[in-house]
Structure 1
Amino acid sequence: MVCGDLPAERDYMNIRKQKEREELNRLSEYAFKVIDTKGRKRSIIPCEIRTDFERDRDRIIHSKSFRRLKHKTQVFISPETDHNRTRLTHTLEVSQISRSIARALKVNEDLTEAIALGHDLGHTPFGHSGEQVLNEICPFEFRHNIQSVRVVERIENDGRGLNLTHEVIDGIKNHCHGFKPSTLEGEIVFFSDKIAYINHDIDDAVRFGVLKEKDIPGIFTEVLGNTNSQRINTMIMDIIKNSLHKDKIKMSDEIYKATMGLRKFLFENVYHSKMAIEEGNKGKAIVKRLYDYYTKHPEKMPTDFYKRVESDGLSRSVCDYVACMSDIFAINTYKELFIPSTIWGM
C-alpha cells in the first residue's frame, strides 16, 4: 500500500495551505499574511505542515547562536545565582509578551514570535559592554541588531545562514531605537523588548541589591504599578487598547511617558551604576584583548571563521568570532591564552 494514496495522508499534505487560508479569515486587516511574504534570498521547497514564518521560528530555535544566548549577559555579568536573567531568558520573555499582544490584536503571531526569538542573536559577550568596546575598536560601526542580521544571513549554518524570510529579518534589524519595522509584528517586538528589559532589569537589580523597590520614583509607580507584574500588565494592556483595529502599534501618551521615564531611571541607576560599570569594564578588557589576539593570529580561529578572512576581511571576521562568544567561552578562552597554568610538582 502506498501511503500517499491514503485520504488521511492527502489531508496531511494540505496542512500548511489550510493554515495560510485560515490566516486570511482570522487575522486583522492590518496583520501581515504569510502568503504576502517577499520570500527568502534562496528558494526552498515549501514545508508540508509549517508556514514560512513557523519555519523561520524553528530555524532560529535550533540554531547554535540561539543556544549560546543562555550564557550571555543581560545586565549582570556571570553572577553566582540561578535566578538572574540571561540573554536567553530575556528573549523568551520578549517572545511571550509579543505573542500576547499579537494574539489580542489578531496580527500574525508566528511572524511576531520569529522576530522576537531572533532579535538578540547578534549580542556580544558581556552585554552592551561588549557591544560598546567592539564599536570602539572595530574599523566599522558595530550594533547588535545589525550583527543579529549578519548572524542569520552570514554566520549561522557554516556561513550559509538561516535563509529567513524578508519580514523576519526586517523585524530583527529594526527592533532598536532609531529603526522602523515595516510590519505591525515588528513594531510589537520593538515595544515588547522595552517592556521586558525595563521590568526584568529592575527585578534583577533589586535582587542584587543595586536597587530597592522604594527607590523607584512614585511618579512612575503611580502610573504603571508597584510590582513587576503590575507594570508589565499595565504596559501590555495599554498597547492593546491603543492599537486595536489600527495600522500602528502605540502606547497612550501617559503610559509611554512613564515607561520612558522608568527606562531613563534604569540607565542612571542600574546600567550606569558603579557596580555595572566596574564589571562592564572587566568584560570590555577581555573582549578587546581577544580581538587584538585574533587579529594578530587569525589562524587560531575556528576554520569557518578563518576561511572568511579573505572574502570578508580580517577585522570583520575577527569581530564576528569574538561577538559570537558567550561570556563563559570568552572568559575561558582568555584564561587559556593569557593566564599561566598552575604547574604542579615544581
Structure 2
Amino acid sequence: MTVREQQQQREAQTLADWATPSVKTQGRQKPMDECPYRTCYQRDRDRIIHSKAFRRLSNKTQVFISPEGDHYRARLTHTLEVAQIARTVARALSLNEDLTEAIALGHDLGHTPFGHAGERALDEVCPLGFRHNEQSLRMVDKLEELNLTHEVRDGIICHTGSRKACTPEGRIIHYADRIAYINHDIDDAVRGGLIRAEDIPKALRDRLGDSHGKRIDTMVTAMIEYGMEHREIGMDERVHDAMMELRRFMFDYVYRGTEAQSEETRARNMLRSLYEYFVEHPDELPADYFVLMTQGDPLERVVCDYIACMTDRYSITAYKRLFIPKSWNKIED
C-alpha cells in the first residue's frame, strides 16, 4: 500500500459516516495522477498554500485600511484564523480535517485590495458584477489553474451567500468565517480605540462571553454540540441569534462611518479609477491577461481579474504611476 492508501484506510476507520472521505471525491476538472503520499484534499491544501494568490493575502486589507501597528489582521491572518476554527470543529465531529482546511485556506483567494471596500467598488463599476467568492473560484480555476477537487471548489464558492456547500466540511467554513471575522474585528476595533469591550451590550457579553477567547469558545462549542446532536452543521439558535446581533453591533459601530473607515471612499474611488483606465487602455494590461481575452473572456472581467490580484501597496503604486504627476528637474545649460 502507498502512504496515500494507508491514509485513506485510516479515514475509513476514523471519520464519521456523514464525513467526506477522500476516496469519495467527485474528482478534478482535469485528470491528474494520484500522489503516492497525499490524499487529494491534502494535495489541494498544498497547492493553495504554494499559490501566488495565497502569498498576496498578507498584503491585503481585512477591515481596517492602512492601520498603524503590527497586530491588526490582514486577509492572510483572517484566513489562518478561519482555518484554525474550522479544523477544531471538523476534528471534534470526526469530519475530514484536510478537506476543511483546504477550503478555509482558499476561501478568500479572490478578494480585492482594501477588503470589502474594494469588492464594492468593482461591483459598482463592472457591468458583469463582482463577488469575492466567485472571484476566488475563478482564481483557482482559471487564473492559477490549481485544478482542485470538486469538493474544495464547491466549498470556496459557497462560503458566503445563501447557497449551501455540498459537504459538511464546506458548510463548516460558512460559520467559521463569520465566527473569525466578528471576533477578530472586535479585537482590532478595541485595539484601535473605536470601541471599548464594555460597549458590547451586556446581554451579548452574558450570553457569548466577555473576552475574545470566551466568545470564540462559546460559538465553536455551540457548533460542535449541534453537530453531535443533529449530524449536520449548524449552531444552537440562542447562540446563533446572539452572534448575528453582535454582527449587527459591529456594522453599526465599527464597519460603517467610523474614523477607521474614513479612507474607504478614497480606496473605492482609486479602484474605480484603475478599472476605468484599464478598460479604456487594455493594451497596458500585463501580457498574461491578454491570454484570457484571446480565450473569450470579456475585457471587463479581465480588468477585474487584474485589479483583484493587486495587493493594497501595488494598487496604490499603480494609481500613482497612472494619475499622479511626476516631479522633474530641468537641467540648465
Q: What TM-score results when the alignment is normalised by the length of structure 1?
A: 0.93
Amino acid at match of 1:314: L
- Note the alpha carbon deviations across 1:44-84, whole angstroms, 9 max, x for none: 11001000000000000000000000011100112121110
Q: Is the CA contact 2:113–2:310 (under 8 Å) kept in the aligned structure 1?
A: yes
Paired residues for 1:157-196 under 5 Å: 161-196=145-180
Which residue is 1:338 aligned to?
323
Secondary structure of the residue aligned to 1:257 is helix
Q: Is the 8 A contact 1:105 1:245 kept in 2?
A: no
**Contact 2:48–2:105 (8 Å) recurs in 1:** yes
Distance 1:90 1:282 in 2: 24
Q: Pick from 295, 300, 303: which aligns with 1:318?
A: 303
Equivalent of 2:313, from 328, 331, 334?
Answer: 328
Does structure 2 retain, via aligned residues, the 8 Å contact 1:184–1:247?
Answer: no
Other structure's SS at 1:258 match: helix
Most deviating of 43-52 and 136-145? 136-145
Cα distance, 1:241 vs structure 2 = 1.1
SS at match of 1:248: coil
In structure 1, what is the Cα distance between the partners aligned to 2:15 and 2:229?
A: 11
- Candidates 170, 176, 190, aligned match of 1:206: 190
Structure 2 residue 220 is the aligned partner of structure 1 residue 236: yes
Equivalent position of 2:83 in the other structure: 95
> Residues of 1 paired with 2:189 and 2:302: CA distance?
35
Q: Give the secondary structure class of the aligned counterpart of 1:222.
A: helix
Matched length: 330
| Counterpart selection for 1:54 from 36, 39, 42 | 42
| Secondary structure in 2 matching 1:234 | helix
Deviation of the 1:141 alpha carbon: 2.2
Give the AA of the match of 1:150: R
2:35 alignment partner AA: C
Checking the alignment, whether the CA contact within 8 Å between 1:133 and 1:288 is kept in structure 2 is yes
1:252 corresponds to 2:236: yes
What is aligned with 2:201?
217
AA aligned opposite 1:98: A
Alignment check: 8 A CA contact 2:182 2:250 kept: yes
Alignment partner of 2:129: what SS? coil
Runs of 4+ in 1 over 3 A off after TM superposition: none
Distance, in Å, in 2 between the alignment partners of 1:87 and 1:122 is 11
* Structure 2: distance between partners of 1:193 and 1:313: 31
Q: Scaled by the length of structure 2, what TM-score is found? A: 0.97
2:91 is equivalent to residue 122 of structure 1: no
Instruction: Name the residue aligned to 2:128.
Output: 140
CA distance in structure 2 between the partners assigned to 1:322 and 1:144 by the alignment: 12
User: What residue number does 1:8 align with?
Assistant: none
How much identity, in percent, do the aligned residues show?
Answer: 50
Show the counterpart of 1:265: 249
- Distance in 2, matches of 1:308 and 1:23, equals 40
**Would the aligned equivalents of 2:222 and 2:239 in 1 still touch at CA under 8 Å?**
yes
C-alpha distance after superposition, 1:85-134 (max 9, x if no partner): 00000000000010111011100000000000000001001100111111
Deviation at 1:273?
Answer: 2.6
Aligned to 1:3: none
- Out of 56, 62, 79, which is 1:68 matched to? 56
Aligned: 1:308 with 2:292? yes
- Matched residue type, 1:234: T
Structure 1 residue 345: deviation in Å? 6.3
Q: How far, CA to CA, are the matches of 1:29 and 1:246 in structure 2?
A: 13
CA RMSD after TM alignment: 1.2
Return the offset for 1:179: 2.0
- Note the C-alpha offset of 1:294: 0.7
Code of the aligned partner of 1:191: Y
- Structure 2 equivalent of residue 7 of structure 1: none
Structure 1 stretches of 5 or more lacking a match? 1-10
Q: Which whole-Å deviations, capped at 9, do the CAs of 1:241-276 have from their partners, x for residues lacking one? A: 111164311111110011010011111111113325
